[in-house]
Amino acid sequence: MDVSVKGALTPNAWRAASHPRRSIHSMAWTAWVAAIVVIATLTRNPWYLGLVIASVAFVRRRCAAPSESPHATLLSPVRFSLLVITTAALFNMAMVHVGATVLFTLPPWIPLLGGAWTLEALAYGALNGAALVSLFLGFSVLNRATSARSLLRLIPRAFYPVAVVTSIAVSFIPTTLQQIEQIREAQAVRGHRLRGVRSWLPLLIPLLEGGMERALQLAEAMTARGFAGGVETRDRWPQMLTLTGFVGLVAGWLLQIVWRQQEAGAALLAFGALLLLTGLWRAGRRHPHTVYRPEQWRARDWLVAVAAGAAALAYLLPLFARETLFYYPYPALSWPAFDWRIGLATLGLLAPALS
């Protein structure tokens, strides 16, 4: 690529252009992350969680830019994963004094911590930590492979003001961290050294002034562009449809869960979802917008979305041995069961790295 073209691109756009695997549609990435959320919510089987973590770690490595350093982050994913799993295991072992394999016993007069500390509680806490790690890795891949702008485009146009405010909030933290680093370097050139609490004052005052200045500039720019300054309409149908659809969803869920009316509940859920989507569609028509660079949905996007959907359906629908999902190490630690069909469906999470 020509140097002048490279200079005209933003860092995210340059990484996407130099690394074609990042060109997967943001909707496909969203479906992929949704499948990870479904799996991490429904199972604590170590075999399936291990497959999820291994698949996501492989995708994360394959989707990294060639010039991206694995040590660029403050806390590496490996260290973070070990920290989360260890903390969850120790916390669960300290709080849950159940299990046949007693490692040691603390005096019962100690609040919360007193009692038997068991291997089963340690194992179940580690499995909960592994589920959290799979979620963290999945969202870290989403953050690296897509931009905030492409994700915000997926928000329905009915929530256009919310999407704009969300984009500002998302960009606030990295911008603030970048400004802190710039101020620290500038103060270091002037001979300033951080030695105590008072030495942070020369950093906090410029940071506060810069944040206020950026906020005022952003407010003036949004006012000049007429943000949220549209003509008020008297059409109340979108609100009525949305509210009725939400009530229908709640009523259908209660029919299925509380009153065990599966068919009536499913019908009411479908009707409520239809009304909700119709209301959002009508509300979105008030906010027309133009996309200058629309994302193209290609064959590899179908591959990622279908593979992620198949992985999620293997855990949601009673197609295979669902009893293998509910691993519970109490009262005695046992060897977890494994269904190769569910494991094979879980490997569909590798689709972004293979497309």
Model pLDDT, residue 340:
94
Question: pLDDT tens digit string along 287-311?
Answer: 666 666 778 889 999 999 999 999 9
Model pLDDT, residue 154:
77
Contact between 68 and 55 under an 8 Å Cβ cutoff? The reply is: no
Question: pLDDT tens digit string along 69-118?
Answer: 444 454 578 888 999 999 999 999 999 999 999 999 999 898 888 999 99
Q: Lowest-pLDDT range, 55-64, 118-127, 222-231, 303-312?
A: 222-231
